[in-house]
Amino acid sequence: MFVSINWIREHITIPDNISVDEIVDKLTKASVEVDGVKTIGDWWDPTLMQVGLVNNILPHPNADRLRLADIQLSNNEIERVVCGAPNLEIGQKIIFAKTGSKVFSPKDNKFFVLETASIRGIESNGMVLSESEMGISDSHEGILVLDKNVKIGTPAKDILSDVILDVHIWPNRPDLMNIVGIAREIDAIFNSVSTLILPDIKFDIHENMDISFPNIIIDTKDLCPRYIGILLKDVSIGESPQWLKDKLLSTGLRPIYNVVDITNYVMMELGQPLHAFDFNSLEGSIIVRNAKKGEILKTLDGIDRKLSPDDLVIADDNAVIALAGVMGGANSQITDATHNVFLEAANFHPNSIRKTSQKFDLRSESSARFERNLPPYLAVIAAQRAAKLIQDICGGTIIHELVDVHGQLDVNPQLVEMDIQYVKKICGMNVSEDEVLQKLELLGFSLHSKANGLLVIEIPLWRTDIHIVDDLIEEFIRIYGYDSVPSIPLSGSIPMHPQQKIVGIRDKIKDMFVNKGFHEIITYSLTTIDKLTAALGESAVSSNMPVSLKNTLSSERSVLRTTLKHSLLETISYNLKNGQQDLWFFEAGRAYATKNDLYEGIYPTSPLAEDEFIVGAISAKVKDRFDMNTNKNIGFFEAKGILESIFNNLELQESYHDANVYGFSNELVDIRIKDVIVGHLGALNASVLHQFDINESVILFEINLGLLSKVLANHQPFVQFSKFPPVVNDIAVVLDVNVLHIDIHNVLIESPLVVSAQLFDIYSGDQLGPNKKSLAYKLTFQSFEKTLTNEEVNIEQSKIIKTLINKFDATIRE
Amino acid sequence: MSTINEQLDSLKTEALSSLNNIINKEELMMWRTKYTGRSSALSSILKNLKDVPQEKRKEIGLLVNDIKKNLELLFKDKDASFDNKIANEIDRNIDISLPGLPVRNGSLHPITIALNKTLKVLSQLGFSSIEGPEAETSHYNFDSLRIPDDHPARDMWDTFWLDSSFNNEELLLRTHTSPMQIRFLEENDPPIRIAVPGKCYRYESTDATHEWMMHQVEILAIDKNVSIANLKATLQSFAYEMFGSDAKIMLRNSYFPFVEPGVEMAVFFRGEWLEVMGAGMVHPDIISAAGYDPNVYSGFAAGMGIERIAMLLWDIDDIRYFYQNDLRFLKKFKN
């Protein structure tokens, strides 16, 4: 909400020594957030921008659209200017800028200095200003016309400068959504003794028999606790006076017709929304009721609203005439032909107003106030205030006392009990009852009584948000000041909440990948079905359909991801396009799926199955000594080596097996730990890469952290190494090409005397014959009991060789 | 006749001074033979030790051996220096400014770094890190936190709704990590001190300061006698550790339905007051809903955006950098 400090000053006295900065600072600390401060007139030169009187207007001899105006600035000073404003009239008081004065040009969006100029052959010495040229508002439809009583020669700065605060009001404080409320708050914050000046609400009544007051019927008293009507006869509809327009403009509202402007003005002044109907267009009674199925109302914004029984409406005998508390209907709106006005000041139930305004996506100033829960008493004051203003400004007669229809209203103020011991405990400081009461009283609270050692606090009528002692603690402490609250560290024992297993292992693995030279990425959890399909293949996506969103910001973010692979490939693609090479990326993040009986994700009680993965990819060349790319791409075995190293560090025994996963080339393996497949690793095939617009080879791996954390073993205890010397022998085994290294290796390390068998050479060639290969191993023999003799080693080695020959039809190369 | 001690002294001096003049290995070998060899003066003194009076025999013996050992060491040093020199002569053109063999440097994402730092500081303050689901029911994300659908406070969180339900409840992407307050309270008794990190989502367009996906850390402390003064001290220590020992904090009035009183914490950093987190005393409704007496147990909660903290720490001016994952950006962050 925009708050004019000038307007605030009409209701409270702000001492001169309090600057606007100080008001902003204290408001922000103790009350509402001030999002912006706009200063009006700080640049106006008091000697050059002053009030002038339009003395005479002559036609411009050379231009139809321009006129010549004589502006009187003092008894003996008259300037003639060329003026294009259509609303200029003799006798107006205006703001005149003399030559040399700084003026804002809205067209160029910058300031310029006014010089004597010849406009179509006539010399012009100065300028009659519009609001936009003064930086008051962006209205430049005509010149700014002042009240007739302003004295000629008064500096513009003295009468028009202002400071406008852009105030963000919390959803629980409807009492602050108006000038009087903010003034009351500022008064309390500054410990002020000034009395809040409330607006004048006295008006005259002329009972008039030739027009009858409509019957007001509330069908739904629970949704409309109070409805007040006022009937005004022979009102003259027209423009509002300048002061009223200025005030509306300062709040950001546009002036329309005087009657409508007054309802808006009172809403801004007191916080109570009002609505004015054209009385002659109404038929019979005014009824507050639920809409009937199929009813339609064209609201003031010209849109037909299909109503349902959830919507609270105002109707007459014929039709719906307003969406209660949200927006009026076009069928009963004020026009320039309106003579008689029916004014509504009502209280509506916040939930109902909110539901309707949400349903129609129709957020008005009115609905914003009602949905925050207004007190019913406010409608009375606002009705009186509006009636008074309409009478003063638009003429007409008020033909009846205001008609106040309501159910059982709780007119007694709310009472809340306060235990000072509890206040002390929650604040963490020693405060006296008097101190707490004194602060609360500044805000309008009062001590109702004392009972059983408790203070009973009377809540001011406008505070519909205060219900419990904790609410009062907030009221006290924000005025007391958080700066004055002591800092006391938490005491008591520090609770030990055990770490979730997956968190520990994830952080550990992330650090390992970083140490291997990977860069961590974090990508969006939302994507498209197409992206998922490109990465996973159609059948994988259709068997695990992603959860889609009901409301999306963009079609690119329409479903929850079921994998992280596409994100990684998109990141590679993006970086390649930006000229980056040597891409080693990984991401630790979640994928989301619908739960089923077999599958619940990492949280048993979560609504979706959420799983955590580490997915990594390398698209890079092998580097030479000088960190330059060679022709060779980082391949499957480099990546496998990295994973082996990481599993080794996790004290896990993993194994690799043939796999069948969409999107990979032949170089692809499952990674298993104790027969659980925890992930896979492979080189992506060209067709997948093509879909992500990647022209480099990519090795990609995925590890399911949830599964991994389940198979994770405790730390292995330290096992003493052998103190006896090892014997190292090399053996080379000639085999059929199809025999796997892992099978040979398993045989070698099965031997109780072999502590390690390291593959150091792979050879195939003519010498061996077709379809043969030779694998050479360095075997380390060692005993935990004694020093092995050569003979013992030879016997063991022969046993091993025998097994290899039997099992694999191997021959031993000499 | 000079004493044996004098003899040994002069022998030593002579050996040392002649060593300085040696310029090649041959001469060095001759020097070694002359002073420590079998027919050296030292050896002959040892051989004739029986001529030395009984009481001095041991002393002289030790002294001779000492000198011999010393000279042997000097010989080895000098010999090694010739070896090095030879090596240097062979590889005369070595350029020690050449780069070492390349070793890759990886990096954690800046959000992870900021998150780790945050959690580490909180852990020092006694808060254990606990994670929870990102897809939530409206019950956990809103209603149980006193944000009913029919209250305008709901508008403070623009929400992504999922086309899916759970036990007939509407699902959404959590708008804050606060639902874990409730989930954790359901399964744990006070005293509680937790920090809940994780991704959150807001249905809002992206610009330099807004992202629809972000990371948050929520802290919750519940115990007997937890006070606003405790909250203030905790936030002060946090700011001190995160932003440096000259970081000042300010608490301002604010509003979140699940706390009362509600505050916002601003930190004075690089010359201005910057909003860093929302906080407040846990609303008594939440404590009683969890089955505890709010007259006995009280608590505080606070929530902060990690993107915001990372932007402050590194002076990053556009939030959109974080999820673009441009390698040139990622490489800038060294933990």
Q: Do the Cβ atoms of A172 and B255 come within 8 Å? A: yes
Q: What's phi and psi for B267, nearest 5 deg?
A: -115, 135
**Mean pLDDT of the B318-327 span:** 96
**Cα B113 from Cα A438, distance rounded (Å):** 47
| Residues in A 587-646 with any Cβ partner in B closer than 8 A | 590, 592, 594, 603, 605-608, 610, 623, 625-627
What interhelical angle do B4-20 and B54-90 show, nearest 10?
Answer: 0
pLDDT of amino acid B221: 98
Residues of B in contact with A485 (CB under 8 A): 228-229, 232, 251
Residues of B in contact with A592 (CB under 8 A): 134-135
Pairing of strands A519-520, A403-406: unpaired
Which residue reads 């600035």 in tokens?
Answer: A73
Q: Which fold has domain A49-160?
A: OB fold (Dihydrolipoamide Acetyltransferase, E2P) (2.40.50)
Neighbours of A28 (CB within 10 A): 21
Tell me: the pLDDT tens digits for B159-169?
Answer: 999 999 998 99
What interhelical angle do A469-480 and A433-442 show, nearest 10?
Answer: 80
Contact A669, A534 (CB under 8 A): no
Tell me: the pLDDT tens digits for B219-235?
Answer: 999 999 999 999 999 99
Tell me: the pLDDT tens digits for B36-82?
Answer: 888 888 888 888 878 788 888 888 888 888 888 888 888 888 888 88
Residues of B in contact with A355 (CB under 8 A): 150
Question: And the tokens for B62?
Answer: 């030790």
The amino acid that residue A657 corresponds to is H
**Cα A368 from Cα A350, distance rounded (Å):** 9
**Mean pLDDT of the A646-650 span:** 93
A39: nearest Cα among A162, A124, A150, A194? A162
Question: And the tokens for B108?
Answer: 């954690």
Helix (H) or strand (E) holding A623: strand A621-623
**CB-based contacts of A499: which residues, under 8 Å, 6+ apart?**
B128, B129
**CB-based contacts of A510: which residues, under 8 Å, 6+ apart?**
A520, A586, A588, A614, B108, B112
Tell me: the pLDDT tens digits for A345-394?
Answer: 999 999 999 999 999 999 999 999 999 999 999 999 999 999 999 999 99
A&B contacts, CB < 8 Å: 265
A26/B contact by beta carbon, under 8 A: no
Question: And the tokens for B274?
Answer: 């910057």
**Mean pLDDT of the A60-68 span:** 88
Question: What is the gyration radius of the CA atoms in chain A, in angstroms?
Answer: 42
- Closest-CA distance of chain A to residue B191, Å: 6
Residues of A in contact with B107 (CB under 8 A): 514, 519-520
pTM as predicted: 0.86
A137: nearest Cα among A254, A20, A50, A273? A254
DSSP B72-127: HHHHHHHHHHHHHHHHHHHTTT--TTSPPPP----B--HHHHHHHHHHHHHHHTTP
A282/B contact by beta carbon, under 8 A: no
**CB-based contacts of B264: which residues, under 8 Å, 6+ apart?**
A33, B251, B252, B253, B254, B275, B277, B278, B279
**Cα B265 from Cα A83, distance rounded (Å):** 53
Q: What is the CATH number of domain A216-406?
A: 3.50.40.10
**Cα A55 from Cα A92, distance rounded (Å):** 8
Contact A585, A521 (CB under 8 A): yes
Contact A773, A784 (CB under 8 A): no
Structure confidence at residue A65 as a pLDDT band (50, 70, 90)? confident
Of the candidate CATH numbers 3.40.50.2020, 3.30.420.240, 3.30.930.10, 3.40.50.300, the domain formed by A501-713 belongs to 3.30.930.10
Pairing of strands A559-560, A526-527: antiparallel
| Residues in A 110-139 with any Cβ partner in B closer than 8 A | none
Q: Do the Cβ atoms of A607 and B169 come within 8 Å? A: yes
Helices H / strands E in chain A, number of each: 21, 43
Q: Do the Cβ atoms of A623 and B102 come within 8 Å? A: yes
Nearest to B261 among A473, A510, A626 (CB): A473
Tell me: the pLDDT tens digits for B80-123?
Answer: 888 777 666 666 678 888 888 888 999 999 999 999 999 999 99
Q: Do the Cβ atoms of B281 and A548 come within 8 Å? A: no
A523: nearest Cα among B131, B331, B213, B207? B213
A430/B contact by beta carbon, under 8 A: no
pLDDT of amino acid B92: 63
- Minimum Cα–Cα distance from B322: chain A residue: A522
Distance from chain centroid for Cα A553:
13
- Own/partner contacts of A67-73, CB < 8 Å, gap of 24 or more, are A68/A122, A69/A128, A71/A96, A71/A126, A71/A128, A72/A152, A73/A98, A73/A152, A73/A153
Tell me: the pLDDT tens digits for A278-329?
Answer: 999 999 999 999 999 999 999 999 999 999 999 999 999 999 999 999 999 9
pLDDT mean across residues, chain A: 92
Residue A678 gets the label, from left (phi > 0), alpha (psi -120 to 50) or beta, of alpha
User: Would you state the CATH architecture of domain A2-41+164-190?
Assistant: 2-Layer Sandwich (3.30)
Q: Do domains A216-406 and A501-713 have the same CATH topology?
A: no
Catalytic residues of B: 157, 176, 202, 216, 259, 301
Question: Helix, strand or coil for residue A91?
Answer: coil
Tell me: the pLDDT tens digits for A429-452?
Answer: 999 999 999 999 999 999 999 988
- Minimum Cα–Cα distance from B325: chain A residue: A521
Residues of A in contact with B232 (CB under 8 A): 482, 485-488
Superfamily covering domain A727-812 = Ferrodoxin-fold anticodon-binding domain (3.30.70.380)
Helix (H) or strand (E) holding A774: strand A772-781
pLDDT of amino acid B1: 46
Tell me: the pLDDT tens digits for A170-229?
Answer: 999 999 999 999 999 999 999 876 778 888 888 888 776 678 889 999 999 999 999 999
Nearest to A584 among B106, B108, B263 (CB): B106
A771: nearest Cα among A741, A739, A737? A737
- Minimum Cα–Cα distance from B167: chain A residue: A607
| Residues in A 155-174 with any Cβ partner in B closer than 8 A | 170-173
pLDDT of amino acid A137: 78
Structure confidence at residue B24 as a pLDDT band (50, 70, 90)? confident
Neighbours of A8 (CB within 10 A): 22
Beta strands in A555-603 (DSSP E): 559-560, 583-593
Tell me: the pLDDT tens digits for A487-523?
Answer: 999 998 899 899 999 999 999 999 999 999 999 999 9
For A351, counting Cβ atoms within 10 Å of its Cβ (0-12 exposed, 13-18 middle, 19+ buried), the class is middle
**Mean pLDDT of the A724-745 span:** 93
Q: What's phi and psi for A27, nearest 5 deg?
A: -60, -45
Chain B interface, mutation test: which of A418, A482, A626, most B Cβ atoms within 10 Å? A482
**Cα A565 from Cα A587, distance rounded (Å):** 9
Least confident stretch, A453-462, B14-23, B197-206, B263-272:
B14-23
**Cα A225 from Cα B233, distance rounded (Å):** 46
Dihedral through CA A388, CA A392, CA A394, CA A398, nearest 10? 50
Q: What percent of chain A has pLDDT over 90?
A: 78
Contact B279, B300 (CB under 8 A): yes
Q: What percent of chain B has pLDDT over 90?
A: 62
CA-angle at A346, arms to A342 and A352, nearest 5°: 125
For A282, counting Cβ atoms within 10 Å of its Cβ (0-12 exposed, 13-18 middle, 19+ buried), the class is buried
Report the largest interatomic distance among the alpha carbons of chain A, rounded to a whole angstrom.
Answer: 133
A744: nearest Cα among A801, A802, A797, A804? A804
Question: And the tokens for B29?
Answer: 């070998």
CA-angle at A270, arms to B148 and A183, nearest 5°: 95
pLDDT of amino acid B54: 82
Pairing of strands A110-113, A102-105: antiparallel
Of the candidate CATH numbers 3.40.1280.10, 3.30.56.10, 3.90.79.10, 3.30.830.10, the domain formed by A412-465 belongs to 3.30.56.10
Write down the domain spans for chain A. 2-41+164-190, 49-160, 216-406, 412-465, 501-713, 727-812
**CB-based contacts of A529: which residues, under 8 Å, 6+ apart?**
A541, A546, A558, A559
**Cα A77 from Cα B90, distance rounded (Å):** 102
